[in-house]
Structure 1
């Protein structure tokens, strides 16, 4: 009796662990919200749905490994990992799934358009949101009708067929989006780390992106000025229809900053077209104007923040690059407005140099190689699971005890499973920030537009269930515990998988469609986006940082370098002597505190090295080597060919040819018919008339 009781395990420890983990996840989600949204001024109807849209996917990352260990263990003996009773898992999955489903398809879309509506009346905003979502919901309804005809013919009209229809359609659309985004992110993330492992290459990419961001920043500023000028014109009206909307117009004027605080320059006044305001003002016109103003302000804040980060990264990277001559990295005093961690200086100048110049780049290179291997394992598992599931690499790393009576998945397997799911999530979410097809939506530090925050949280919630279930399909080898394997024994599979595979079409789609991950992987790996962009001049795809390396005015890195140096030079003018000149326009970016000050980039590298007591020659030699490293194959080949022809010497047997030959008048000969001088020099351009005193070739 005692031995039987001792053999039975209790889930109390696992429940405590899961509760603590959920509390930690809640705290992390709150920190994430605080990073992108001002918590005190953001209304609760935005914060609460966004919190759950982020917290539920984070809890699913924890729930899937617990489900794996709970259902792959012998109920009569202790478990190797964290486990929960089957009833608790079923309730958890029902709450997580249906709440995520409601947030994804109904709550977040409606609240996003409600936030973006420019109306002042809540009822008018709600009706505007319903009208904007009508097309979206009509598409969903049409898909449901088409799928319902097939399901009802196959299984009849009953409760299970309706649940299968709803879950299968939601899963299918989420899986299509998840496979594309994850496939692109599996290539883009490791490639970014490998590229950033080169300090000079990272600086060049920052400079190449500077011109694009600067142009977009200028366009955003001009667009906002146009709209605020329109508001200023409206405020001058005191009669007619403007009298009815006087309070609304006054609110728009209070939020504007023209023309007193930000007067237009002459060039902008000349280039901006005349502002047209209708004679009769309507509620719809003012709502559109309010919506455009809100979007324009957030767009301006977005590009100001991006430009500020580019300047900061450029100065920081240039400082690390220049430290090769002195083997020291000096930093200025911390700003009074900087954070707590920015005030702490642990490293000495030499250890800071070792850390920034060697440790971080090599760590990025190692992490990039490691993530490349992980990406290969995921792609391989997606392809091989339909052919021979025994060869799934992810399954081999998670299932450590396939024939054990105590459980096939232990605590180590649970940790590895969480890491796999987290990496799949991260790859998909990284693609959301890189693919530029989301109507200008972006995440801005402490200044994210409410509609953008809703949209991004909706995508996070939409991707959570398909990616989690897709991970379970990797664990399908026919082990001793079940016919289909560990994944099919889970409560999650019994709750969702049985309804997704309710029809043969759903089963084949779930098995074969992930093979299409090769499409985004190959597109990102071979830069098909850049090739298509060059062919059709379509600017809404993925930006190619390796294009346009030459040609001023086309967004090249040289143009970006000039813009950065000019901006930093204007910001740090007169502050070079104290060694604490700031490198960025921190005051221009809303809600962006000053970081630790850094040396100004305006001082040439030779002068900085000379001020540190170092010789100039090593720095110049190193710059030439960096230029050679940055050349591609065609540039290097053309330079070598040019150098070969420039340094060629005239053969000796040709040097005395033409001594007695008179040069014609049209080739520059004298009128007395004197002979042309001999080509005794080493420059073969004398065959074409020689060189003039200013170095030009005379024909």
Structure 2
């Protein structure tokens, strides 16, 4: 079929990446350069996951052809009767006609490879795959190590011109890049001392090895948590009571963080008011103050203007450096406040829905009743009736989540077992390799591609879902409905580009298609031909095979027994522990906060309804209704 399947996957992947980015980002508010860079980062990372199975099936086909070409020529009998002559010999073989075997003359011929090795339905020519992987891999690496870190620092810089913001971004990344240059220098020195010789190909391999080693290190940490936590989260999600208690606990902690973020923003606004009191409209720095004020939401700016001016002047003398520092602090504080407010709004909606589900699940009525009428399209309301909603949310959903949790747990066990045994080739005990070999024996390329796609998708889910649950990285948060800020979008694109290539390289090891890891000759995928191998640096290649599986098992056991949560709780960072008194107190506090928030929202809705009713009855419009605001 040529490049048809590849073109279809490229177009579908672009559509998926664009839709997901549209759902999380804000194309109208965010800078165009940020949107394009994040779209390319997400798109190329998804392409690696979705196109690699095509590379695997193509490589299996090429391996079959290569093995057939190297095998001895088959001895076939020649038929010399008038019914089958030498000229129509091949045609007779292909049409399956019986041979006249009265003559025992032997003819040596080779069966065409396509008769023994059926071509995959998704076959992609070698030249196309090599060019494709070269563009995708090196573009994503250029983005993740150079462009996106600079853009991330650029978005939080407090300077007022493009040049000064770019300079601040470079300075901010100086230590970041310096540490990488130091590591590269050490690797080059090691290779020089071992007399391996250096050329362009080896330098590219060293760069890829350094990037993959960094990515594999983080992949171990993330998978060790995600392989256990993803099935466990699905299992707990089936219990409405457990999910509700966990959400109350989260609400109590988020409320504290919300108060701190609001207090921080208020302090900075007071500082801005005090500093701005010394800057008159004719002051040279007044334009910078206008830039700072443009970043502040209108309601906050109006509130600070209504307050009386501070009694004491600001400690800083009005200067460009002081305004840059204030601008940078305000950008960070407002970003944190928006993140917390977004999380709070989504959490309140989630808890209200959970409370409705819990109340309906213990009711004898099989018609779902909402505390507040949901806003739905009339077609959806006609199909998704209250009875169907009750069956789904109170009955079917729990069983489905538990079944999905069991399936995910089994896949996690397969992943851990394969990580422990992928270096064993005789016998082959890596389950992923066993499954692929069974499909390979029957030339079932579709099954091979499905196994590869679903396995890599699950590994990616475990790794990436963990990434945004880490408390240290709480500055980054992907919120739907266009609520994600630029900083978090750039971070997500950066991490996708860094973790996806080593994750796919690790999967090729699990299915025994990386000969430099399993120490057995096999045909290389075109993906690994572009990336190279880690065995240029023996310390990395030899140490990885030993410590990688050990760390996966150790981290999975630590996650299963919640050792990390217990340690953090002991250090004062309270985690959700079912048998802890402080957790119980926070659950009750969260329940009180949500009840108060629900009443506040109900009052706002009632007031809005009364204003609307008043305007409709007396025809006063907004001017009459505004009297009651």
User: Corresponding residue for 1:400?
Assistant: 438
Q: Which of the residues 497, 512, 524 maps onto 1:476? A: 512
Alpha-carbon distance in 1 for matches of 2:519, 2:578: 52
Does the alignment pair 1:457 with 2:493? yes
Superposed, 1:30-429 pairs within 5 Å as 30-73=18-61, 74-75=64-65, 76-77=113-114, 78-154=118-194, 155-238=196-279, 243-256=283-296, 257=298, 261-262=302-303, 277-323=314-360, 324-325=362-363, 326-331=365-370, 344-387=381-424, 390-403=428-441, 407=443, 410-429=445-464
Q: Give the CA deviation at 1:41.
A: 2.6
Q: How far does residue 319 in structure 1 lie from its aligned partner after superposition?
A: 1.1
Contact 2:566-2:575 within 8 A present in 1 as well: no
Structure 2 SS opposite 1:353:
helix
Cα pair distance change 1:164/1:217, threshold 3 Å: same
CA distance in 2, matches of 1:513, 1:494: 25
Looking at structure 2, the residues matched to 296 and 149 of structure 1 have their Cα atoms a distance apart, in angstroms, of 44
Compute the displacement of 1:195 (Å): 0.5
Query: Residue 253 and residue 493 in structure 1: after superposition, are their counterparts in 2 closer, same or farther (change >3 A)?
Result: closer
The verdict on how the C-alpha distance between 1:274 and 1:476 changes in structure 2, with shifts beyond 3 A counting, is: farther
1:544 aligns with 575
Q: Which structure dedicates a bigger proportion of its chain to helix?
A: 2
Q: Deviations over 1:641-669 (max 9, x none)?
A: xxxxxxxxxxxxxxxxxxxxxxxxxxxxx
Residues 50 and 501 (structure 1), Cα distance of their counterparts in 2 relative to 1, 3 Å cut: same
Distance in 2 separating the partners of 1:119 and 1:362: 54
C-alpha separation between the residues in 2 aligned to 1:519 and 1:276? 57
Work out the CA distance in 1 between the residues paired with 2:239 and 2:604: 32
**Partner deviation per Cα, 1:409-464 (whole Å, 9 max, x = no partner):** 51121012101011111111111111111262222332323222111210011001
User: Is the Cα contact below 8 Å between 1:400 and 1:413 reproduced in 2?
Assistant: no
Aligned partners of 1:157, 1:419: CA distance in 2, in Å?
Answer: 39
CA 1:18–1:276 in structure 2 vs 1: closer, same or farther (change >3 Å)?
farther
Structure 1 pair 265/546, CA: closer, same or farther in 2 (3 Å)?
A: farther
Secondary structure of the 1:120 match is coil
Q: Which has the higher contact order (CA 8 A, sep 6+)?
A: 2
TM-superposed deviation, 1:254: 4.2
Q: Is the partner of 2:511 in helix, strand or coil?
A: coil
Contact 1:187/1:375 (CA < 8 Å) preserved in 2? Answer: yes
Query: For 2:153 and 2:311, how far apart are their aligned partners in 1?
Result: 30
CA 1:254 to 1:70, structure 2 compared with 1: closer, same or farther past 3 Å?
closer
Q: 1:80-129: CA deviations, max 9, x gaps?
A: 44121111111111111111111111111111111111111111011101
Q: Distance in 1 between matches of 2:39 and 2:543?
A: 32
Does the aligned pair in 1 maintain the 2:270–2:304 contact within 8 Å? no
Change (3 A) 1:438 1:520: same
Contact 2:468 2:474 in 1 (8 A): no
* Distance (whole Å) between structure 1 residues aligned to residue 337 and residue 352 of structure 2: 23
Shift of 1:465: 0.5
C-alpha distance in structure 2 between counterparts of 1:276 and 1:531, whole Å: 47
Conserved? CA contact 1:181–1:428, under 8 Å? yes
* Equivalent residue in structure 2 for 1:502, among 505, 526, 536: 536
Q: Return the offset for 1:142.
A: 0.8
Post-superposition CA distance 1:54-105 (Å, at most 9, x none): 0111001122111111011145323244121111111111111111111111
> Aligned with 1:507: secondary structure?
helix
> What's the TM-score once normalised by structure 2's chain length?
0.80
Contact 1:298 1:447 (8 Å CA) reproduced: no
Offset, 1:550: 3.3
In structure 2, do the counterparts of structure 1 residues 555 and 132 end up closer, same or farther at CA, with 3 Å as the change threshold?
farther
Per mean C-alpha deviation after superposition, the further-off stretch among 500-509 and 214-223 is: 500-509
Q: Cα distance 1:575–1:48, how it changes in 2: closer, same or farther (>3 A)?
A: closer
Separation (CA, whole Å) in 2 of partners of 1:551 and 1:157: 59
The gaps in structure 2 that reach 5 residues or longer are 66-112, 611-629
Asked whether the equivalents of residues 234 and 405 of structure 2 are also in contact (C-alpha less than 8 Å), the reply is yes
- 1:190–1:371 contact (8 Å) kept in structure 2: yes
Structure-1 separation of matches of 2:241 and 2:464: 28
- What is the CA distance between 1:344 and its match in structure 2? 3.9
- What is residue 557 of structure 2 aligned with on the other side? 522
Q: Residues 549 and 449 from structure 1, CA distance in 2 versus in 1: closer, same or farther, beyond 3 angstroms?
A: same
TM-score (norm 1): 0.73
Is the contact between residue 500 and residue 506 of structure 1 (CA under 8 Å) also seen in structure 2? yes
Q: 1:444 to 1:566 in 2, by over 3 A?
A: same
Once the two structures are TM-superposed, the CA of residue 339 in structure 1 deviates from its matched residue by: 6.9
For 2:173, what is the secondary structure of its paired residue? Answer: helix
Q: Structure 1's 258 and 229: CA in aligned 2 closer, same or farther, altered over 3 A? A: farther
Of 100-109 and 277-286, more deviation after overlay is shown by 277-286
Contact 1:235-1:253 at 8 Å conserved across structures: no
| 1:473–1:286 CA distance, 2 compared to 1 (3 A) | same
Q: SS of the counterpart of 1:437?
A: helix
User: Which string of whole-angstrom CA distances, capped at 9 and with x for unpartnered residues, describes residues 481-536 of structure 1?
Assistant: x98376x5312233334x32224334313422321212321221111112221333
Structure 1 stretches lacking a partner, 5+ long: 1-10, 582-699
Measured in 2, the distance between the counterparts of 1:276 and 1:529 equals 47
Please state whether the residue corresponding to 2:475 is helix, strand or coil: coil
Q: Is the 1:395–1:475 Cα contact (8 Å) retained in structure 2?
A: yes
- How far off its partner does 1:208 sit? 1.3
